[in-house]
Structure 1
Amino acid sequence: MSDALDEGPFFHGTKADLRVGDLLTAGFRSNYRPEVVMNHVYFTALCDGAGLAAELAAGDGEPRVYAVEPTGPFENDPNVTDKRFPGNPTRSYRSQHPLRVVGEIRDWTRLTPEALRGWHDRLAALREDERGEIIN
């Protein structure tokens, strides 16, 4: 761990149906810029933050939040830390090493349909704005 502020627990939001012991790895398309293949796997220390990521994830599956453990070093997510929010109030991290699924969290806060539409609108605007570029 470099300058990361948390020791966990950590969470990852997705629409994938995973099992305890599965590994989440880098090398998949970004949910926010599908033309970008990600060099990192992202996670957060905020369960509801992972829930937001799950709601916004690509795919048709049910949004899910998993408790995860990093298997190697990780860092603050530069896409939000200081670029959008001073410090790391979103408690967002990334790693080039896999994350191990240790359980599924079922009691996270779901977005209302209106809030979900608002987030999709914000993401669409970011895709059109060069400041929305992903630091990969």
Structure 2
Amino acid sequence: MAYLQQAPAWFLWLASLGALYVAAFLPRLLVYLTHCLRRPEDLRLRYGTWAVVTGPTSGIGRSVALELARRGLNLVLVDLDAANLHEVSGTIMSRHAVQTMAVVFDLSLVSTPKGVTRRYGGSGMP
């Protein structure tokens, strides 16, 4: 401890400030590491056995569909492109032991006047 008595005051002040920063940062770091290193939760127990994935034929939608299938969820795949949709559905079923249901549908029309007309005819009401 004699070396602390010989250290300049500014050094002790900076060392104390650093120790306070580490003491404040350490709990957040431990929470983050606990979150990252814990076992992944079983999505089937929490949300059920089926998941809906829109846009599964490319990009993020395809990655999400493949990951959910890897985790054992059955999938309802919704997209406009029927050929690609059935190709992705076949790929998922061949790689993973899950069920898939391919639905060709334009979700952008769900709440538009054009979509209502297409769904219910000219009246616009069910």
Question: TM-score over 0.5 for the alignment?
Answer: no
Q: TM-score, normalised by structure 1?
A: 0.23
Higher strand share: 1
| Greater relative contact order (CA < 8 Å, ≥ 6 in sequence) | 1
Q: TM-score, normalised by structure 2?
A: 0.24
